[in-house]
Amino acid sequence: MKWFMEFLSRFSVARSVVGGFFLLILVGSFFIYGFEKGALSYVDSFYLSASSVCVTGLTPVPLSELNFLTQLTIMILIQLGGLGIITFTVVIGILILKGLSRNTKFHQFIKDAIDSTEESGASINSEEENNSSIEAESLGKDEDSIAGKQNSSTDTISKEKDEPTVLRVLFSIINISFTIEAIGTYLIYVNFPENIPENVDRFFLSLFTSISAFNNAGFSILDDLSIIAYYPSSLYIISGLVILGGIGFPVIIYVEKILLQSLHRIMFYVEANLETYYVRKIMDHPEREELPRFFPIILKISHSLDENITEYDSHLLGSSNKIQWKILLYGTLGLLTLGTFFVLLQESSNPHTLYGMEPAVKFANAFFISVCSRTAGFNSIDLSGVNDPTIVMIIVLMFIGGGPQGTAGGVKITTVVILLAYLKNVINPAKSVRLFGEIVSKNSIAISIRVYFLATTIIALIFLFLTLLNQNEHILHVIFFELISAFSTVGFSLGLTPTLGDVEKLFYCLVMFVGRIGIFTILIAATGHTGVPRMGDDDGVKIQVG
């Protein structure tokens, strides 16, 4: 095991992430190719593996035509890919903290990725805020050159303090994922219509769909989800899983903390009232009354909740999480509302999509399309029949995507919101960019601008290249739609994917890979830095973008 640790220590975090995801795709492609026993070409197997790991959902063949072992492999790849870059990074961090030389900047990257900067009763150090760009650059730097600047005593203390933090974060991510997927599996199982194909196992269908939905993959072992188009309950269940997976783990962790606080208040109220009641009874009848046996259990639960809340404050939540929670909550609600009513307006009278449905069913399908447009790629109606304005709206929603450090793709809601706030600041000049009354970090603004610029530039160049390969075989908007779907790891298709040649499929694999890993991770892996200079004095709140 020692040689493996030494081997890992040679790679930066960014290169480990890129290499790890590519290795997972490669291994997955061999399994898929082997299980299909020649029924799929290797290029199609590689494409399926890349689409699964990158949780995209584009497929050259219907999954219903694949055997059970291949479907099981795809489900596992979706789960591994869907846990995201943050989980992969935390795992590498645990290996380093347990056996390799410690890298303070490396671990700071892990904590920044989920906004878990420790507060311990004090406000965040302004020096840490000023060094946010350096922390990002440390992904590509050598460990020893940074670790050498730390004195040994501080390093030992920090190492002992940091390792439990990483473990708690990893446990929290996995626990949240599996719990939500288990609940989703049960709800899908009991709510899915009875008229599923006879050769499809209901439990496996429910499990596969739940994992695919929460991880925003958009894969289905049915040819499509038109089978549930007239079942609003099933549409809303899958939509809920997609939203929870795409909104980002920091927000889910924050919501989990709020729920724990609410439960703790209830338990404290029950504890206080029971204690008062029984103390009075004991005082009145000391020879007959005693505290009930369940009272110590209530005390234990209350104490446990208090410890968990303290742990969340100390290890899992940072100062920017409240702002980020608001951005993602309001941004998600705004995009869902806009998308739903736009689809209703455009498609209600379209005989190929929503026309003829009851109002409640129309609304459920419009909501489902709006949810899946931003990240998942499930479709309950045939997208080839939708009107052109709806196609444009879907492209916009796909490009925006979901929340950072979730399973969604796109440039992320936080990036777009910060850019809009910056644009407002340009039109009406002010000393700083503010969101919800808080000053936004200059570094977050700089990264948002670069993410948007790099994304649009890469999309434009790839679009040009794909049109050259196309040789006028497909309409331009179909190519562009498929490109945005692949780059944003959504999985919506207008029927282009099955008609692609091998070279085009491999190119789309690259697009999905870049879209899933992230432009900045690729940039850091290639160059060793982010291209974001130090912003000088920066006392703003850091918000995760890109």
Round the average pLDDT of the chain to a whole number and report it: 78
Token look-up 């497929």 returns 59
- Distances from the Cα of 222 to the Cα of 204, 208, 228, 451, angstroms: 11, 10, 11, 36
DSSP class of 385: G
Q: What is the Cα–Cα distance from 375 to 246, expressed in whole angstroms?
A: 7
Q: What is the 3-state secondary structure (H, E, C) of 280-335?
A: HHHHHCCCCCCCCCCHHHHHHHHHHHHHHHHHHHHHHCCCCHHHHHHHHHHHHHHH
Q: What is the Cα–Cα distance from 399 to 409, expressed in whole angstroms?
A: 8
Question: For the segment 176-218, what is each residue's pLDDT rounded down to a tens digit?
Answer: 889 999 999 999 999 998 888 888 899 999 999 999 999 989 8
Name the β-bridge partners of 541.
440
Where is average pLDDT lowest: 219-233, 260-274, 445-459? 260-274
Q: What is the Cα–Cα distance from 177 to 434, expressed in whole angstroms?
A: 33
Query: Which tokens sit at 198?
Result: 């006879």
Between 544 and 181, name the one with better pLDDT: 181
pLDDT given at position 395 = 95
- Distances from the Cα of 21 to the Cα of 15, 32, 54, 532, angstroms: 10, 16, 8, 25
Q: Is the pLDDT of residue 232 over 90?
A: yes
Contact assessment for residue 196 and residue 205, using Cβ atoms and an 8 Å cutoff = yes
Q: What is the Cα–Cα distance from 254 to 164, expressed in whole angstroms?
A: 19
Nearest to residue 254, comparing CAs of 121, 406, 418, 136? 406
Contact assessment for residue 409 and residue 375, using Cβ atoms and an 8 Å cutoff = yes
**pLDDT tier at 146 (50, 70, 90 boundaries)?**
very low
522 φ, ψ to 5°?
-60, -45
Query: Which tokens sit at 71?
Result: 């479907």
Contact assessment for residue 35 and residue 196, using Cβ atoms and an 8 Å cutoff = no
438 φ, ψ to 5°?
-105, 145
The answer for residues whose C-beta is within 8 angstroms of residue 204's C-beta and 6 or more apart is: 68, 71, 221
Domain ranges of the chain: 249-316, 340-527
**pLDDT tier at 151 (50, 70, 90 boundaries)?**
very low
Question: For the segment 40-66, what is each residue's pLDDT rounded down to a tens digit?
Answer: 999 999 999 999 999 998 999 989 899
Question: For the segment 509-518, what is each residue's pLDDT rounded down to a tens digit?
Answer: 999 999 888 7
Q: Is the pLDDT of residue 318 over 70?
A: no
Q: Is the pLDDT of residue 129 over 60?
A: no
Q: How much is the pTM? A: 0.79
DSSP 53-105: HTT----SS-GGGS-HHHHHHHHHHHHHHHTHHHHHHHHHHHHHHHHSPP-HH
Q: What is the Cα–Cα distance from 363 to 349, expressed in whole angstroms?
A: 13
**pLDDT tier at 311 (50, 70, 90 boundaries)?**
low
pLDDT given at position 106 = 43
- Distances from the Cα of 536 to the Cα of 88, 104, 439, 441, 446, angstroms: 31, 21, 15, 11, 12
Where is average pLDDT lowest: 225-234, 326-335, 394-403, 468-477? 468-477
Return the amino acid letter for 29.
S
